[in-house]
Amino acid sequence: MAGIRVGVHWSVLVIFVVILLGLGGSRFPEDHPGRPAWQYWFASSVTAAVLLLSLLAHEISHALVARRNGVSVDDITLWLLGGVARLKSEASTPGAELRIAGVGPLVSLLLGGVFALAAGLLEGVSDAGLVVEALAWLAGINILLALFNALPAAPLDGGRLLRAIVWWKTGSPLRATVVATAAGRVLGWLLVGVGVYLLLAGAPFSGVWLVVIGWFVIAMATMEGGQARLRELLGGIPVRDAMTPDPVTVRATTTVGEFLADPRFRFRHSAFPVVDEEGAAVGLVTLKGADSVPEAQHGTTTVADVMVPVDDLPTPHPDDPLARLVPELETGSAHRALVLDGSRLAGIVTSSDISRVTSWLSSSSAWRGRTL
């Protein structure tokens, strides 16, 4: 959709079933009795599907505005608590952060208004009570999502807005992240506390739901705080200090059989840069990918047929900041980057290389003397 991969986590089924049972099995029959049962279940099914589309619109808006502000988008995944748009990099300015974060709640608020307007227009139509009820529910839930997401705590959109404001005031994106993630943990624990209270007060469904949301907020805020400290840890470190220079390469015309049989490609590494006849990098081939080719096709299938194309890989310059590469390695399927100096392949960086550098920095006396 709009050139962005969209995935659906299995937990989305939980949302669908909860809405289906809550509306079709309880709310709709109570508010509009006397109708055939299939109408309640059909209306609740359509309502649940429209809600999921509303969540997708929320995340798509983040992705599109991110693109317009120079931030590449990996994919969007819908899951139990809504959706997540995975960005390959961070906003370069507080203004860009503000625009990317703010558009999501605005879209949800706009959708809430549209559904409310539609419900109002249909309210006077005879025999449209069930449709009006569904539209009113969609209006309320979208407005509620907009308000909840606007709370100033990471990982919510409001946390991004708070981060943008603190970043603009202090000039420090790290300090801004620390403030936003601390607010996120506070909000998470508040939600857990309210959820436990509701459980003890005899409202198990609402209580469990709030506890789950609270734990999610705490976990995501803690993860964002860790990522911010990692960026600070790697601050000033260029990619060349972590890369393996002049890696062993394989020609794109090499067959899979030749690649697997060649002793140069055994034991030491599990992936190798692929180059063309002029020596320019064109992709990355993994032993796992080559080994997945049926043995009968080893002699006719080339490495180029099974490689990850260079356009799907991070390709930093040796002097680029290492911290900027970390999120791209985490979100990329290969978890490797080809380091290019112009058209020349200068090296390769893996997630293990990042871990090695961070372990050394964390244990060094120079890092122990630094503070956030």
Catalytic residues: 59
State the Cα–Cα distance between residues 109 and 142, nearest whole angstrom: 6
State the Cα–Cα distance between residues 253 and 259, nearest whole angstrom: 10
Strands 244-245 and 73-79: unpaired
State the Cα–Cα distance between residues 255 and 285, nearest whole angstrom: 12
Tell me phi and psi for residue 146, to 5 degrees.
-65, -45
Cα 47 off chain centre by: 25
23: Cβ contacts below 8 Å, ≥ 6 apart: 40, 43, 44, 47, 48, 134, 137
Q: Which two tokens stand for residue 215?
A: 């734990």
294: Cβ contacts below 8 Å, ≥ 6 apart: none
Residue labelled with tokens 């069930």? 130
152, amino acid identity: P
Residue labelled with tokens 């990329």? 332
State the Cα–Cα distance between residues 309 and 184, nearest whole angstrom: 38
Could you tell me the CA-to-CA distances from 56 to 15, 63, 116, 281 in Å, in that order? Answer: 14, 10, 19, 36
Tell me phi and psi for residue 13, to 5 degrees.
-60, -30
State the Cα–Cα distance between residues 121 and 249, nearest whole angstrom: 66
State the Cα–Cα distance between residues 67 and 322, nearest whole angstrom: 22
Cα 349 off chain centre by: 22
State the Cα–Cα distance between residues 33 and 141, nearest whole angstrom: 23
